[in-house]
Amino acid sequence: MSLSVLLGSCFTGSVLGMYLGQSFLHSLVAAVASGGAVRIWGIESPAVRQRFRLGVIIAAVFSFPVYQLIDPDRGSAYFRLGAVFDSARWLTLELAGIPLSIFFLLMIAATGAVFLHQELIPVIGHTLEARKKSMPESARPLNGILPGGPGVFVFQSDELLSFSIMGREPAIYISSGLEQVLDAGEVAASIAHEAAHIERNRKPMLTAVFFLRVLQFFNPVALFEFRKIVQEEEKICDGIAASATGRPEALAGALRKIYRGAETASPKSPLSLGDIEEYSHGLHIKSRIERLERWECCDERGRWPELAFTFFAIAAINYFMV
């Protein structure tokens, strides 16, 4: 028996190997089922779509340990013979003399590297930088923008920037460059969008999801779904801002000016990871702009029966995916 085959067999037979393999498999099943459910039922609400995507992260993290608690013999050869899909059987197959488990390990290692480089390290760096720095004292307040809400301030910068500071004393900052480029309605819409982020941060669902995402740092499906959850969050805040101001076209105009060129994202094939990221971001901004321009308040009902049915189906299918 070759060393690669021996390593592959040890991996698929270990608890860690089973967790890694089944987390990926269960999240993939959940992603396909959730995506299909959203399309079949024509769900347009970003808040509801976000709940469906959250189920993919939950399935990835908790399915394997919960199933093992329910049935400790689930990993036995007897159970695997009657399973719908046996990942161990596939991962021990060879491609060019190398077990597929080796390629699987390389995939999760690459995903972990992407997670560290593009998510974890930037988040930690941004947090540490935010603690060390404070906004310049020259930042002037914009009074009367959000009565009774967080303070709004303008700081000197030619860049087109707007962001919010969370915490006990939340605040919204916009750059002087942004104030000059946008008209009054667009400025108000941008501020309303940031205010929506602050309001939703009081129910920090995304923070909890991010910690679950950290546990799945190796899982490419979880990486993709988490980014989609973040994109849905932006659309949720767009909707809150559009409803609050009554001018969705103003927010669309602000986005178009801030992200010049996003609407011209071409369908050419990206050549690098950076190209893919830029291309995907451009499509996301374009989608937000188009949604605001044809604005109709989505059906924000919870769609709980559909959600419960989908999650039950995912749980039932994944139990027999080992």
> Helix, strand, coil shares of the chain as percentages rounded to 5?
70, 5, 25
Which residues neighbour 232 within 8 Å (Cβ) at sequence distance 6 or greater?
46, 47, 49, 50, 53
3-state DSSP assignment of residue 282: helix
Return d(Cα 225, Cα 173) in angstroms, integer. 29
Mapped onto helix, strand or coil, the DSSP state of residue 168 is coil
Strand order in the sheet with 162-165: 140-141, 151-155, 171-175, 162-165
CA angle 259, 261, 264 (to 5 degrees): 130
Residue 265: per-residue pLDDT: 44
> Which residues fall within 8 angstroms of residue 111, CB to CB, at 6 or more apart?
217, 218, 219, 220, 223
**153 — phi, psi (to 5°)?**
-135, 150
Please identify which residue in the block is written with the tokens 């309303």. 192
CA distances from 288 to 46, 83, 174, 237 (A): 11, 42, 20, 11
Ranges under pLDDT 50 in the chain: 1, 3-4, 261-267, 269-271
Strands (E), 157-217: 162-165, 171-175
List the structure tokens of 301: 């009902």
Q: Are 221 and 169 in contact (CB under 8 A)?
A: no
121: tokens are: 């390290």
